[in-house]
Amino acid sequence: MSYSLFLREDGLVVGYMETPDVEAALRRMEKSAVQQRWQELLAPYLEVGAAGAAPLEEILHLD
């Protein structure tokens, strides 16, 4: 699993996760104490947490 966060100068934070098995990754994240603390700490600032993550359709990929 790969997880990235990006911060824009105006405070916008965008994150994404890449994994071959989204359901398994979300289950592992839900069991993690670190994930629980992260969710609690950032809850006031986030519109969607890991439990409500929405898959995105890839429309372009360059390697």
What is the total count of domains within the chain? Answer: 1
CA–CA gap between residue 36 and residue 30 (Å, rounded): 7
Residues 6 or more apart whose Cβ sits within 8 Å of residue 2:
17, 18, 19
Domain of 38 in residue numbering reads as 20-47
**Does the residue 33 lie in any domain?**
yes
Is the model's pLDDT at 61 over the cut of 90? no
Mean pLDDT of the chain: 81
**Does the residue 39 lie in any domain?**
yes
Quote the pTM value.
Answer: 0.52
**Does the residue 3 lie in any domain?**
no
CA of 54: how far to CAs of 13, 29, 36, in Å? 16, 15, 19
Stretch 14-43: mean pLDDT, rounded? Answer: 85
- Per-residue pLDDT band for 32 (boundaries 50, 70, 90) equals confident
**Does the residue 59 lie in any domain?**
no
Stretch 48-62: mean pLDDT, rounded? Answer: 71
